[in-house]
Amino acid sequence: MQSVENSLRVDILVVGFGKGGKAVAGVMARLGKRVVVVERSDQMYGGTCPNVGCVPTKALVHESNNRRPSDVPQEWYERAVGEVNEITTLFRKGNFDGVNGLETATVLTGHAEFTDEHTVRVDTAVGPVAVTAAHILINTGSTPVIPDIPGLRDSKYLVTSTDLIHRTELPTRLAVVGGGYLGIEFAAIYRRFGAEVTLFETTSAIFDREDDDIAAVAEKILVDEGIQIVTGANVTEVRDGPAEATVLYMHDGREHSLTADAVLAAAGRTPATEGLGLAAAGVRTTARGAVEVDEYLRTSQRHIFALGDVNGGPQFTYISLDDSRIVLDQLVGEGKRMTTDRVAVPRTLFMSPPLANVGLTEKEARDAGYRIKVAGQPVADIISMPRAYVVHETRGVMKFVIDLETDEILGATLLSVDAQELVNVVALAMRNGIRASQLRDAVYTHPSSTEAFNDVIGAVIRTDEG
């Protein structure tokens, strides 16, 4: 590890300790390059995922699913949050040591701001450090969006996802403003912990990216869990009281109100560029505030790259990791890898059971002009999948969209136990030209969730033939 001085001249400077930047920093340091990684907070080494994103939230999914009816909600929740904090603390230390322990790498903690296209000023606890680098990576991630609702921003009952996973007191009544991935996941988690949950969504339906048949099954699961879902709702104001907030909203032309002791702003996340001094570096941003990049993740300054959420791409940790491969190919490879190379990228919403997708939905395939057949089954009817019964999770449905002429898998939606794993198998098959019949006739271990493909892909429910 290099000693910290008032000024440093390095090969690689990474601003923000996210997944992609961390990966590049590690590779370059092992190649003997001088590397500095700057992180604003000592609570964020490793980035969003291990600290306030994927790891703690999915750990809470697991803990909430394990609560029995006889377990006292507050006691179970407090214990779960304590265990999750232990995990994130372990990961945070591992991420810091993994970079700072490299011989030619240094981690600086403090606010970073560009002073010119090659130099960043870092205000550390022991004073400012000017870091000049040949190449700079912006990897600052994203921050929660607080909707512009009167009273919400100043409400003492307002919580972001970050706030919520750190508090040890379980909300008795949680109002969730926003019905996207974040809102649905947190609604499901906290309902299972025992909170009363109301989910507000401005559009006419949640799961609006899904086919109607999938959306109906997914929404029924949430409703059966006891989540109150109010679609077509316009939250107009949040009023603080001495012990609770009153959420005012318009629905079906009438004003309604709901009381809650926590109001979660779940309106998405926005690229974290504020205060970086990008103008001083000549780095352009988009209309939405993301760092503008080309298909090689180069900014308007060719020696400066932007990785992860800050570049306005899909907000997934695995996309940030793939961003690192593109940047490394620019720095030490052939310079050919691009964002447009990505195909069949899966995604998962971690409700219980998980909802995973890859490729096209049935509606998207038809709109694109494909002649298709659709294969699918409710999980409870899949004879070749006893695992669902073994783990007492038979809710959900699996669905494949298949090209009628070529047998190509155009897409799949999996709402089932282990869907977050199954979707990766389907995505790998799609990337490598494996046909639906090959996936159907493959040999899988038993009992496993994967063997569901033996039945599901053969269960054709709709076809464009004839």
- What's the rounded Cα separation, in Å, for the pair 283 and 299? 6
- What's the rounded Cα separation, in Å, for the pair 67 and 407? 43
Q: What is the DSSP letter of 2?
A: P
Note whether 237 and 263 are within 8 A (CB): no
- As to burial, measured by CB atoms within 10 angstroms (0-12 exposed, 13-18 middle, 19+ buried), residue 123 is middle
Which tokens belong to 39?
A: 């992180």
135 as an active site residue: the answer is no
Which tokens belong to 372?
A: 């298709």
Alpha-helix residue ranges (DSSP H) falling in 127-272 = 161-166, 181-193, 212-225
Alpha-carbon distance values, 39 to 53, 96, 123 (Å): 16, 10, 11
Note whether 400 and 409 are within 8 A (CB): yes
Active-site residue identified among 62, 303, 392, 446:
446
Residue with tokens 């699913």, as numbered in its chain: 65
Q: What is the DSSP letter of 168?
A: -
Give the Cβ contact number of residue 21 at 10 Å. Answer: 33
Catalytic residue ranges? 446
